[in-house]
Amino acid sequence: MPITAVLVHSPFLGPASLRPLADALAALGHPAVLPDLRPSVVTPPVHQRLIGAFADVMSDALPLGPVALVGHSGAGPLLPAFAEEIDDAGGQVRGLVYLDAGLPTPGRSWRDTVPAELYARFRSVSPDGLLPRWPDWFPEITVDPAIAEEAPEVPIAFLKEPRPSVDWEGPSGYVLLSPAYADDLADARARGWPTRALDLHHLAAATDPEPTAAAVLEVLLATAG
């Protein structure tokens, strides 16, 4: 039975950011599931709501047989908690794939992992307690309208919430799309994970789905096959 890829979008984006990747995986004969978690990120505690929403969605969509979780960007630190929910529901998580994503920092918040001035900059542009939508963080980048329209307003409290303290002891892998995550790729390689590095950009799962799908599938099969 083939391993189903569960594609988890960033909390700051929506499923449109990964839908072309899901289609490209399907074209390669590989099943994929793409849950929509946007409604769970607009009210704190965001981590708790995200995990609960993921469990609810997957209880209805959980495929038969083994799955691998593929988390993009800000979804990366949540993958172990998502895997725990699937395992608790009787699923079979065979591996985790981080797609241009941050790695887990159990018990530590995003604010704990970045320079203080970076958090201060976000706070200065969030006077109403809501972060700007992700496309507004990078005005120099052209974002597909379908992706931009889906981007939710996430409470800045999300950046201060401790990430889930869940340990994942199974196999993991990493796919790099952009230089911004080079340190995470280096960390993955130091841990002996299967990795692939593409010279693309952070939203390549939407704009360049075929090479992204090929790399994801290589790592997925090396990790969980």
pLDDT of 188 higher than 80: yes
Q: What is the mean pLDDT of the chain?
A: 94
The beta-strand segments (E) located in the chain are 4-8, 32-33, 66-72, 92-99, 172-176, 195-197
pLDDT of 58 higher than 90: no
DSSP codes of every residue in 168-218: --S-EEEEE-SGGGHHHHHHHHHTT--EEE-SS-TTHHHHSHHHHHHHHHH
User: CA 106, CA 116: separation in Å to the nearest integer?
Assistant: 19
User: CA 181, CA 167: separation in Å to the nearest integer?
Assistant: 22
Q: What's the pLDDT score for residue 223? A: 94
Q: What's the pLDDT score for residue 134? A: 94
Quickly state the pLDDT bin for 156 (edges 50, 70, 90): very high
Per the CB < 8 A criterion, the answer to whether 75 and 48 are in contact is: no
The domains of the chain are located at: 4-108+164-224
User: CA 13, CA 43: separation in Å to the nearest integer?
Assistant: 15
Q: Largest Cα–Cα distance of the chain, in whole Å?
A: 50
Q: What's the pLDDT score for residue 57? A: 87
User: CA 159, CA 8: separation in Å to the nearest integer?
Assistant: 19
Per this entry, what is the length of the chain?
Answer: 225
Q: 161-185 pLDDT, tens per residue?
A: 999 999 899 999 999 999 999 999 9
Superfamily designation of domain 4-108+164-224:
Alpha/Beta hydrolase fold, catalytic domain (3.40.50.1820)
Q: What's the pLDDT score for residue 182? A: 98
CA distances from residue 223 to 25, 68, 175, 186, 206 in whole angstroms, order as listed: 16, 9, 12, 17, 23
